[in-house]
Amino acid sequence: MTLISQLVFLAVLAISGYFIGRRILQIRKNILLGKEEDRTDQPMERLKTMLLVAFGQKKMFKRPIPAFLHLLIYVGFLLINLEVLEIVLDGILGTHRLFAPVLGSFYPVLINFFEFLAIGVIFSCVVFFIRRHVLKLSRFTKIEMKGWPTLDATLILVIETVLMFAILAMNGADQVLQSRGVAHYPLTGEFFFSGFFVPLFSGLSDNALIIIERASWWGHIVGILAFAFYITYSKHLHIFLAFPNTYFSNLKPKGEIKNMDNVTNEVKSMLGMPADPPPAEIPRFGAKDINDLSWKNLMDAYACTECGRCTDNCPANMTGKALSPRAIMMKTRDRAEEVGMSISKGGKGLEDGKSLYGDYINKEELLACTTCNACVEACPITIDPLSIILEMRRYMAMEESSTPQSWNAMFQNVETSFTPWKFPPTDRFSWANDLKTEAENK
């Protein structure tokens, strides 16, 4: 590799690093638009959750077949990056197959293993493409998946397939050049899967093979860097965010609904219990916009895989209601993106006349939720759409008083009678007395 090629390679790395780094900082700023929330308790339990759910993909295996295919892609990209490391070092140092003399006879074993994983990735991508575009599984055809979400998923599958073929083509051309003793292509042993390319390349000239090998080499590394930048705008951002998202997940029982700190503090004051001093500014009850949600809610939105398992298991969605937990997360992310980009460009940000509630998520969606936690249980990376729904319903009830009349009656009964029904607390166990009387009469 010439000095010019090395300089070009370093320039590509630097430019890619700059744009990827800038995008990561933007996402971080967007997430931090949310309110503070302490998720640093029980560090060992959090680490265990991250290892089991994010790294071990524990929840994915509730559906074994797609879980296995997803695992092939996941492990494939994770381990194939070791070969990418060699490509990067070769590009910087001007070498070719830097690890070959170091690893000796183990090198072809390693490359053959990587090629096996590449075939696994290609196979999985083809199956996933068929499931989306031929079988058209229902969770991939919901209304929120129209347009860009479906195109995004398709592009990812195509890009992953092309990147894997680039590795195989590169290794295939490399083997022919090795066999001919061409300079800078030392013997490394045979590679099984890329060996199928050898008959196709055998009739080509050395120059043509070098062009194919170099084009595949550059195509793979530039493709990887472009892919890394692209996924920061894609649902595949979960490749990175799944780990912090599961680490900071809610460790409390799923049925435990978090109290509002402001209301709890007010109740303590009324009862004469120790309470925090009241804030200088009266806070908003519930959530109207993304700044009323916690940073963890916004991280959930960015970590969403758009797999649709939450919506697939939502009883409200099953019965034709407007609610889709996946759409809740996608709309929250869209709003965070809009506000964050506006702020970065010196725009109006949160003061743009729009809000998450009303402009992105409507009342019909929120009222349909049964708070059953099916969406939370189904999510493979512990995303919690319910917490966002509850915060927005609190805003509806406590700030707008726009909940249905039947709900208002229930709220009043709970406040005055401590039950959803309108009868005095002293009559709460009358039904038990009636049963006792009936039993005695028998």
Q: What is the DSSP string of 280-315?
A: SSPPPSS-SSGGGSBHHHHHHHHH-----HHHHT-H
Same domain, 314 and 418: yes
Q: Residue 421 — pLDDT band, cuts 50, 70, 90?
A: confident
Same domain, 266 and 133: no
Same domain, 126 and 268: no
Scanning the structure block, which residue is given the tokens 């895989």? 305
Alpha carbon 139 to its chain centroid, in Å, reads: 16
Alpha carbon 356 to its chain centroid, in Å, reads: 20
40 within a domain of the structure (yes/no): no
| Cβ atoms of 183 and 336 closer than 8 Å | no
* pLDDT value for 389: 97
CA angle 350, 356, 361 (to 5 degrees): 165
> Residue 407 pLDDT more than 60?
yes
- Whole-angstrom distance, CA of residue 294 vs CA of residue 384: 12
Alpha carbon 360 to its chain centroid, in Å, reads: 20
- What is the distance between the terminal CA atoms of the chain, rounded to a whole angstrom? 98
Same domain, 242 and 293: no
Report how far apart, in Å, the C-alpha atoms of 337 and of each of 142, 302, 307 are: 22, 9, 20
Mean pLDDT value of segment 363-378: 95
Domain boundary among 212, 247, 282: 247
Domain boundary among 247, 280, 310: 247
348 within a domain of the structure (yes/no): yes
57 within a domain of the structure (yes/no): no
Across the chain, what does the average pLDDT equal?
90
| Amino acid present at 171 | N
- At residue 303, the 3 state secondary structure works out as helix
53 within a domain of the structure (yes/no): no
Q: Kindly report, residue by residue over 284-321, the tens digit of the pLDDT.
A: 889 999 999 999 999 999 999 999 999 999 999 999 99
> Residue 246 pLDDT more than 80?
yes
Same domain, 156 and 191: yes
Instruction: Mark residue 337 as left, alpha or beta (left: phi above 0; alpha: psi -120 to 50; beta: remaining).
Output: alpha
Nearest to 157 by CA among 236, 62, 61: 236
Q: Residue 436 — pLDDT band, cuts 50, 70, 90?
A: confident
42 within a domain of the structure (yes/no): no
Torsion of Cα atoms, 128 then 313 then 368 then 153, to 10°? -10
> Residue 337 pLDDT more than 70?
yes
39 within a domain of the structure (yes/no): no
Q: Residue 184 — pLDDT band, cuts 50, 70, 90?
A: confident
Give the tokens for residue 266. Answer: 């007010």
Domain boundary among 188, 214, 247: 247
Report how far apart, in Å, the C-alpha atoms of 317 and of each of 160, 323, 327, 368 are: 32, 6, 11, 8
3-class SS letters over 26-89: HHHHHHCCCECCCCCCCHHHHHHHHHHHHHCCHHHHHCHHHHHHHHHHHHHHHHHHHHHHHHHH
Same domain, 276 and 399: yes
Provide φ and ψ at 361, rounded to 5°: -115, 125
**CATH value at residue 410:** 1.10.1060
% helix, strand, coil for the chain, step of 5: 70, 0, 30
The number of distinct structural domains making up the chain is: 2
Question: For 16, what's the count of Cα atoms within 13 Å in the CB-facing half-sphere?
Answer: 17
Mean pLDDT value of segment 266-289: 80
Identify any residues that bridge with 294 across adjacent strands, giving them in sequence order: 35
Give helix then strand counts, H and E, for the chain.
Answer: 19, 0
Report how far apart, in Å, the C-alpha atoms of 157 and of each of 69, 164, 439 are: 13, 11, 67
> Residue 56 pLDDT more than 80?
yes
Nearest to 227 by CA among 172, 286, 160: 160
Which residues make Cβ contacts (< 8 Å) with residue 55, sequence separation at least 6? Answer: 243
Domain that holds residue 365: 261-426
| Cβ atoms of 29 and 344 closer than 8 Å | yes
Same domain, 336 and 415: yes
DSSP 396: I
Mean pLDDT value of segment 108-129: 93
Q: Residue 425 — pLDDT band, cuts 50, 70, 90?
A: confident
Mean pLDDT value of segment 114-140: 93
Residues present in the chain in total:
442
Scanning the structure block, which residue is given the tokens 């195109």? 151
| Cβ atoms of 26 and 344 closer than 8 Å | yes
Same domain, 225 and 79: yes
Same domain, 219 and 290: no
437 within a domain of the structure (yes/no): no
Cβ atoms within 10 A of the Cβ of 405, count? 7
Mean pLDDT value of segment 230-257: 92
> Residue 102 pLDDT more than 80?
yes
* pLDDT value for 1: 56
> Residue 208 pLDDT more than 90?
yes
Same domain, 268 and 235: no
- Whole-angstrom distance, CA of residue 133 vs CA of residue 116: 26
- Looking at per-residue pLDDT, the higher value among 20 and 76 belongs to 20
Provide φ and ψ at 86, rounded to 5°: -65, -40
Same domain, 241 and 271: no
Q: Residue 237 — pLDDT band, cuts 50, 70, 90?
A: very high
Same domain, 204 and 86: yes
221 within a domain of the structure (yes/no): yes
Give the tokens for residue 199. Answer: 């008959």
CA angle 121, 236, 111 (to 5 degrees): 30
- Whole-angstrom distance, CA of residue 304 vs CA of residue 241: 9
